[in-house]
Structure 1
């Protein structure tokens, strides 16, 4: 049932984005009296699930749910149907229209994607506000994983800024740091700026701990005893850990590090119980765990829930759209960083479906988390806008590039060049799809997905 809901959300989100993106091409094409032969949700190689011709346009739903398209007469597109192009241009064809009209038609899809993301983010800000983990409330600094330490952080650091820009939200900062050049922290009462180590970034990405390599430091208060060994240890719910083997470990990150150093050993734990110190013995398993749950209530102390008025939500929605776009550009760049090798961790449709958010309802079943769904849809809309603007033949950006060339030079790119470029673009995109799907399949078989 859970996977069905995730799959439904993915298909619904893609359907909304594809239909609106293609409408962004379709409407200006119609406005400029250009013939649109097909309007399809999803791709239809060999056959379609549904199709109906209305006027001059065939509307349909394909069986391959990875996008969609509008087929505009007189345009070199991914269908590679060039027979029509051998005839003289007709007034209703794309190639017969002025360059500025063709440019508007090609930019229509990404424009819709951008404004859709802006609208969604504005509505989310207005109706749901924004809940985030506030770095300014980390009075005891951050806890840092081994990968985080390799990046240059130290336990207890307080993050001040990233690339000179103030850092406020952990959720944004933990991602932005991965793409940054330098970070400024407050360390031992002094501001220290250091260059982020790419090897540490590579470890974070490889270990898929993008949200865990820096964490707020919370007291180690035991909330539950989950294993027979922990129940037999003498530990009790509500115990606050003070030290392990005489080493001061009042915070969770310090306890985790010390336990990892004592795998498979018996340790002496000093706890504060009912205001009095007690010492108990406990066994650490081979994975460096005690088998206890930690009281997470103190995490609420770091949370800020910011609300926005109607007037505030519109500029905030725009800012969130730009933030999402900036993030996509940075992620794209990191894919081709030879040190980080981000391309090895790229995720495709299978990974996206598995990551779709679901909630538990009152009866214990699964339900759609609508704010999370719309947040994903807005982010994905920005991603589609960015992806389609890349100047690769086969994408909107490729057509835009050739049209801009025509406007600047004063004459169109030769038809044969367009056809060859389109073929190269299609081959490149097919190769990219194989890489993405291959990555998903490899991760399934290796247990990494």
Structure 2
């Protein structure tokens, strides 16, 4: 429960900040051009009966804007006079146009007002990434430094990869790090026509088609490729099944229930198989039988293999900390001065955006649609503990997502309004108010359907149905 609340707090704080600044971007340009902003709300103040849906609000003296917070945490809005938006205030549009209204302003001013939120989100993301570079620098494990190489799945081996191949680079350039939030490592392989590896001390080139589907690479278990990390125990928690069985730090797990394992990826896969078995066990006796596993363990400094029975915890844990990349490799650490951090942060942020746009095309596939997530999926991106580095990294990432999604040419989003404004600027004709209202209804309907679908995916994943 505690980890859930920590994640929830981080999620709400990040979303509130992003929505506040996004809507602030619209309001800044609106007030800059003399357009009246009637309401500025973080979250939606949806009315229920006589309740207006406001948690609180206030209106400063000599200001036309009411500021407040609604109860529905699905975003926020900035109600601009003389504009058809999600408020559907058509009564106002029937009145004679006023000089302070959005509809009376030149098209170029209206365009800046509409892209103000997206612009703020892009700049915010780049600024946060820059400050992350300045405060923490950049730490990563270089792929070519992983001398034990990679562990590949059957699909990768069919293309010519061998376990322990050290990944060097592709025809697009050298690999940097194994994985990050935008999946550059897998995208580079998917787009490559040649991958260079170091095999038994010799450089080998593997030919690839150059247009592989990246989605199966990261959705299939085991992954297409992942660092070879031996199933060596880093440390053991006291009083756990592993501790009671006599497993010590430095021991290596060789098999589970007779299934050979050599890496932690193998161990996790076998644990996943046991989890599937547990899902259909109805009695306590059956559950205990499923959790009782036979381990083959090679103790540190010994050559013989010790076989033991271990009763795992109900959530199928042994009680050991796994060895990691940091156990075997030294990370690359890059530090930046204040002024150096800005080009580094902009470069990183641009890479994240490019990767997200590259991944977006996969949503058209069935697997891509299943990968869509709602509030639960977004919240799970935050760590179950408070970490400022992770919080700001995820906030910057969400800021880029919010900017990109809002600029899509969908009615009801900023991008939809931008399309209509560009049409007006090119043809010198405004779309009719009737058309704009219908487009807004269609856009909001599409967004609600998408939101329901994404959150339904979260529920199905939570129920282990998908």
Contact 1:134–1:302 (8 Å) recurs in 2: no
Deviation by residue 1:271-307 (Cα, 9 ceiling, x = unmatched): 5854x63344456999xx9958476266341422221
User: Which residues of 2 match residues 403-418 of structure 1 at below 5 A?
Assistant: 403-418=421-436
Report the Cα offset of residue 157 of structure 1: 2.4
Quick one: distance in 2 between partners of 1:165 and 1:29? Answer: 45
Match of 1:217 in 2: 228
SS state at 1:191 partner:
strand
SS state at 1:24 partner:
helix
**Contiguous gaps of at least 5 residues in structure 1:** 360-367
Q: Report the CA distance shift for 1:324/1:251 in structure 2 as closer, same or farther (over 3 A).
A: closer
User: Which residues of 2 match residues 34-433 of structure 1 at below 5 A?
Assistant: 34-46=35-47, 47=52, 48-54=54-60, 55-145=63-153, 149=157, 153-161=161-169, 164-172=172-180, 175-179=183-187, 181-183=190-192, 184-186=195-197, 188=199, 189=202, 190-195=204-209, 201-202=215-216, 204-205=218-219, 214-223=225-234, 237-239=249-251, 271=298, 274=301, 277-281=303-307, 293=320, 296=323, 299-300=326-327, 301-338=329-366, 341-359=367-385, 368-433=386-451
Quick one: distance in 2 between partners of 1:285 and 1:122? Answer: 48
Alignment root-mean-square deviation, CA = 3.8
- Alignment TM-score, normalising by the size of structure 1: 0.82
Match of 2:278 in 1: none
Report the Cα offset of residue 65 of structure 1: 0.7
Contact 1:7–1:353 (8 Å) recurs in 2: yes
Deviation by residue 1:338-384 (Cα, 9 ceiling, x = unmatched): 4xx2111211112222332143xxxxxxxx21111111111111111
Quick one: distance in 2 between partners of 1:259 and 1:389? Answer: 42
Report the Cα offset of residue 87 of structure 1: 2.5
Report the Cα offset of residue 250 of structure 1: 7.2
Contact 2:178–2:185 (8 Å) recurs in 1: no
Q: Report the CA distance shift for 1:398/1:268 in structure 2 as closer, same or farther (over 3 A).
A: closer
Match of 1:364 in 2: none
Contact 2:293–2:309 (8 Å) recurs in 1: yes
Report the Cα offset of residue 103 of structure 1: 0.6
SS state at 1:238 partner:
coil
Q: Report the CA distance shift for 1:4/1:194 in structure 2 as closer, same or farther (over 3 A).
A: same
Report the Cα offset of residue 166 of structure 1: 2.4
Contact 1:151–1:197 (8 Å) recurs in 2: no
Quick one: distance in 1 between partners of 2:460 and 2:296? Answer: 43
Q: Report the CA distance shift for 1:205/1:398 in structure 2 as closer, same or farther (over 3 A).
A: same
- Say yes or no: does 1:442 pair with 2:460: yes
Contact 1:149–1:200 (8 Å) recurs in 2: no
SS state at 1:172 partner:
coil
Q: Report the CA distance shift for 1:177/1:336 in structure 2 as closer, same or farther (over 3 A).
A: farther
Report the Cα offset of residue 421 of structure 1: 1.4
Q: Report the CA distance shift for 1:30/1:232 in structure 2 as closer, same or farther (over 3 A).
A: closer
Deviates more, 1:6-15 or 1:405-414: 405-414
SS state at 2:164 partner:
coil
**Contiguous gaps of at least 5 residues in structure 2:** 274-289
Match of 2:282 in 1: none
- Alignment TM-score, normalising by the size of structure 2: 0.80
